[in-house]
Amino acid sequence: MSSALQMNSAKIFHVMGMQRHFMLVNRVIHPFKSTPSSLYTTVHSKPFVGLPHFLRKSRKYDNSLSFFSSSFCSSSSSSSSSAAATSFSKVGFVSWYLGMIKSWPILTKSVTSSLIYIGADLSAQTIVQESSEDFDFMRTSRMAGYGMIVLGPSLHFWYNFMSKLYPRRDLFSTLKKIVIGQTIYGPAMTVIFFSLNAHMQGETGSEIVARLKRDLLPTMLSAIMYWPICDFITFKFIPVNLQPLITNSFSYLWTVYMTYMASLEKAA
């Protein structure tokens, strides 16, 4: 009887082994048939995973709506669009100018000073001269050369030096910068301006000294009445890379006065 049980057990194990072998072969030949339906559905639903369909439609609707509204607004409010374009162009110019100051600081500030001196000298000639007189373009070229070669580079180095000497922008530091500017930089640049301009007009050394004796003190008194307020705004509120630009803007009116003083007759 024990031998019969052993034979039945052997047959059962043999049948179970055959079933396992059949299942393995079937899984290799037909891998998805033995896979559960949930897994099969998940695998084939992956390519369709994304944003819901109504969101994709809303994008198209928003685009068409914005296009319609922009067309309507452009046709109904041309003045506002032109104002926006003007403001954008101003912002673009400012960005370009700041980039030029960063890339070519001395050259940019020198060209700026030269252009301001050209405009100031032409304005001074327009105010002083009569309508029948012609413009003195040689005088304007002298002013342009002074702004390009002397004033522009000197402003760059002066303001960088002052920012390193007194890096803070508190009231006391600002006042010290103003005092140093009015006692050292301002008088020095005024002497250089009068001397170079007189020399280019053919005046001798004694004539230049006589001109300085006559014109330097009145010019410095006028500078004390004008420049401390301008320097306070510049040193207190303006970044150092833009300080020469602001100073050149302030110096437009001052340059009109300076070019007028430089165009006076020789001192007796």
How distant, in Å, are the alpha carbons of 90, 92, 111, 198, 233 from that of 97?
10, 9, 12, 34, 21
Domain ranges of the chain: 105-262
Residue with the bigger pLDDT between 241 and 157: it is: 157
The reported pLDDT for the residue numbered 258 is 82
Among candidate residues 96, 88, 92, 90, the one with its CA nearest the CA of residue 80: 88
pLDDT at 224: 92
- Give dist(CA 7, CA 3) in Å, integer: 6
Tokens linked to 231: 């320097």
The whole-angstrom separation of Cα 244 and Cα 114 is 12
Q: Convert the pLDDT of each residue in 131-187 to its tens digit.
A: 667 888 998 999 999 999 999 999 999 999 999 999 998 999 999 999 999 999 999
Instruction: Yes or no: say if 177 and 162 are a contact pair by the CB < 8 Å rule.
Output: yes
Among the ranges given (13-22, 67-76, 233-242), the one the predictor scored with the smallest mean pLDDT: 67-76
Residue pLDDT, tens place only, 192-223: 999 999 999 899 999 999 999 999 999 999 99
The 3-state DSSP class for residue 110 equals helix
The pLDDT assigned to 75 comes to: 42
What is the CA 217 to chain-centroid distance, rounded? 40
Residues 73-123 pLDDT 10s: 444 444 444 554 455 455 688 789 889 999 999 999 999 999 999 998 898
Please state whether 102 falls in left (phi above 0), alpha (psi between -120 and 50) or beta: alpha
Sequence-ordered list of residues with C-beta below 8 angstroms from that of 80, at least 6 positions apart, any chain: 73
| Residue 235 amino acid letter | F
DSSP letter, residue 240? G
pLDDT category, 67, cuts 50, 70, 90? very low
